Amino acid sequence: PAPAPAARPVVGASLTPEEMAAVNARARTMTEDDIGTMLDQMNDMTPEQEARMRAMGADPAMMAKAAKMMASNPAMKKAATEMMKRMTPEQMTRASQEAQRQIENMSEADRKRAMEEMDRMKDQ
């Protein structure tokens, strides 16, 4: 029989509760400028960073496009900043894992539509 496929890493699974609490504490103190810097970094990922994203089930191109869209929309950036300030470590983990599941289950056509929708939102 063929070997079972390797399980894909789950977002947050490699973090201890203490590490996740530290990530959450950092997210709660991020300013809109900090978010902007983070979004800029997502648009300039190294091949290693892209490989890590793919290993977690994320599409680096889609993440970069989403980052560009958010960076060009001050209201969306502000909303993300406020949302992160209110999230507990558990909520942050669940939200990240749910996003990962949704991306993993997208067909190529779904991904293309999502990218096109992000382009339309960015241009508004």
pLDDT of residue 80: 84
pLDDT of residue 54: 78
**Contact present, 115 and 62 (Cβ < 8 Å):** yes
pLDDT of residue 124: 60
What is the mean pLDDT of each successive set of 10 residues along the chain, which is 124 residues long? Answer: 57 79 87 86 88 77 84 85 86 84 83 81 64
pLDDT of residue 24: 85
pLDDT of residue 6: 54
pLDDT of residue 89: 84
pLDDT of residue 60: 84
pLDDT of residue 52: 81
**CA angle (20 as vertex; 11, 98 as ends), nearest 5:** 30
| pTM recorded for the entire structure | 0.62
DSSP secondary structure string for all residues of the chain: -PPPPPPPPPTTTTS-HHHHHHHHHHHHT--HHHHHHHHHHHTT--HHHHHHHHHTT--HHHHHHHHHHHHT-HHHHHHHHHHHHH--HHHHHHHHHHHHHHHHT--HHHHHHHHHHHHHHHT-
